[in-house]
Amino acid sequence: MWANYIVNFSKFRDKDIGKNLGYLTFQFTLLIVLYTLHILFQNIVFSYLYIVLYLIAASIASYMIFKKPSLFIELTNRIYNFIIFHRSGILLYSYSFETGREIDDSLLKGSILIGINHILSSFFDKKEQLNLIKMKNRDIVFEYDITHGYAILLTTNNKNTYIEKAVSNFMRRFSELNGDKFRNTKGLIDVSEFQNAKELLLENFKSYIITKH
């Protein structure tokens, strides 16, 4: 446990959570030491110390898991970019989890936009849609809303069920709030009308957003 903790600490998204995991590892180490001493010397003092420390450690661990259920699952998982595209190829909203800021479309490379537009035009109306591109250090996730004509592109180091659920909840609420805007679109799209995406993003992906103090 200590070896894995030390090797992977630099990869932790949230250093505060990483430190908390270190505290738990330290407590677990003490439990092993006390239990070993109890077995070796059969001293009731070590037995009582073990029980007390076990209850304290279990309570702290339970509180931490209750407060942040994604602690152990999401500790090293990262999301890099979150982009919403209209089926016409217009960028509706984009956010960088690495900088914690919205991305100006001018900062996205032209080749990336062309590639995304090609994917959207090729798979939007097909039954078998492209939902994942696996690269060496990235997973590129695509999700489509055929009814309202938009798609989400998300880049992460590893796609998992937590991300899938967050994307699903985001799209459901985003469609509910902006359904009329999509339906009333007549060729012209005002992207400023979709800024409510940021609030939904913070709500559904808060485990991936580190608040800078």
Could you tell me the mean pLDDT of each successive run of 10 residues in the chain, 213 residues long?
80 69 85 90 88 88 73 70 86 87 65 64 62 83 87 89 89 93 80 90 82 51
CB neighbourhood size of 140 (10 A) = 19
Which domain, by its residues, includes 51? 2-67
| Whether residues 104 and 144 fall in one domain | yes
User: Could you give the 3-state DSSP secondary structure of residue 103?
Assistant: coil
180 in a domain, yes or no? yes
72 in a domain, yes or no? no
112 in a domain, yes or no? yes
**Cβ-proximal residues to 119 (8 Å cutoff; 6+ apart), any chain:** 130, 142
Two tokens, residue 97: 């989890």
| Whether residues 34 and 107 fall in one domain | no
pTM value? Answer: 0.65
Q: What is the pLDDT of residue 213?
A: 43
User: Could you give the 3-state DSSP secondary structure of residue 145?
Assistant: strand
**CATH code of the domain containing 200:** 3.30.450.70
Q: Total domain count for the chain?
A: 2
